[in-house]
Amino acid sequence: MAPSVLLSDKIESVCPDILKKAGFSVTEKSGLSPEELAKEIGQYDGLVVRSATTVTKEVLVAGQKGSLKIVGRAGAGLDNIDVAAAQELGVKVVNTPGLNANAVAELTIALAIVLARKLWVAFSSIKEGRWEKKGLVGTELSGKVIGLVGLGFVGRLVAKKAQALDLKVWAYDPLIKPEDVKKAGAEPKTLDAIWAGADYISLHLPKTKETTNLVDAKVLSQIKKGAFLINAARGGLVDEKALYDSLVSGHLGGAALDVFSQEPPGASPLLSLPNFVATPHVGASSLEAQLNVAEEVAKLLVEYLGGQA
């Protein structure tokens, strides 16, 4: 019997096309709640998700009682999948790290430029009929220090692009040897050194128990006065209440978030601040990145289920 796969998030057509070409039965149903997914999942061998679907332990238990063998995430992060439960139940979890890294790295650099040149104020003011040239004196990136907290796929690409803009690159990553940090074009630094000395701090970490609210009130107080903070990695790495207080006080020069602890963020007080920039979790939302991850996750399922079902 042909393997069956459920696509529970909207995904580029290359994914179902590859699965169907391999002889798989493909069903596309987006917008399912965890409860609805749990009722549905037992009849499928594979599940493909992006970031909207939450794969809880209950979903995995229901799937394992049926025929579920693999969950594929079209993207890098696994925050929305209970990986520990999957391992316990024998359901394989795969993802596609690195294939959307360039899109996220480009957004990171874009946000740095937007912060440096106060472009969000410039955009809104001129659209509202104001000509505020004198009040929009920004700063240049050239010669400044960008501190990268995490030097994985995205961090390395940010380092490369930052060098092209004449930024000095510092990096902290306890999993990477100092000599390899240097090979990536960055100077190895401790976290304390990055907090205290970088003009721009960009987070490139997964969300774990250890990294949740990593940037809290204490850390924010240690950051160099006037510095800019960027998070296009995972929501929850920054204590948003503490970030609000730091921006209001003027200690931080500005901040840009592409990700929030709760998405959508609703009426977050951060959105009212003139020195805060936000985008709606679009770091990986480039045409190229979406095609890359959709193609790769389909190939991973074909490879695994081809000999499993």
Rounded to an integer, what distance in angstroms lies between the CA atom of residue 254 and that of residue 121? 12
Statement to judge: residues 70 and 195 lie in one domain: no
- Token output for 229: 């903070």
Statement to judge: residues 272 and 222 lie in one domain: yes
* Among the listed residues 114, 116, 167, 113, the one whose alpha carbon sits nearest the alpha carbon of residue 145: 167
Q: Kindly report, residue by residue over 199-239, the tens digit of the pLDDT.
A: 999 999 999 899 999 999 999 999 999 999 999 999 999 99
Cβ partners under 8 Å of residue 101, min gap 6: 76, 152, 153, 154, 157
Single out the catalytic residue among 35, 36, 132, 263.
263
CATH number for 259: 3.40.50.720
* Among the listed residues 277, 241, 292, 268, the one whose alpha carbon sits nearest the alpha carbon of residue 110: 277
Statement to judge: residues 80 and 122 lie in one domain: no
36 in active site: no
Note the pTM of the prediction, 2 decimals. Answer: 0.87
Statement to judge: residues 55 and 88 lie in one domain: yes
Q: Kindly report, residue by residue over 264-277, the tens digit of the pLDDT.
A: 999 999 999 999 99
Rounded to an integer, what distance in angstroms lies between the CA atom of residue 31 and that of residue 8? 7
234 in active site: yes
Q: Kindly report, residue by residue over 28-75, the tens digit of the pLDDT.
A: 999 999 999 999 999 999 999 998 899 999 999 999 999 999 999 998
Single out the catalytic residue among 234, 240, 295, 296.
234
Statement to judge: residues 255 and 127 lie in one domain: yes
In total, how many domains does the chain have? 2
Statement to judge: residues 133 and 262 lie in one domain: yes
Statement to judge: residues 119 and 30 lie in one domain: no
296 in active site: no
Beta-sheet strand order (sheet of 228-231) = 187-188, 168-172, 145-149, 200-203, 228-231, 254-257, 276-278
Structural domain for 52, as ranges:
4-97+288-305
Single out the catalytic residue among 50, 73, 204, 281.
281
Rounded to an integer, what distance in angstroms lies between the CA atom of residue 31 and that of residue 263? 15
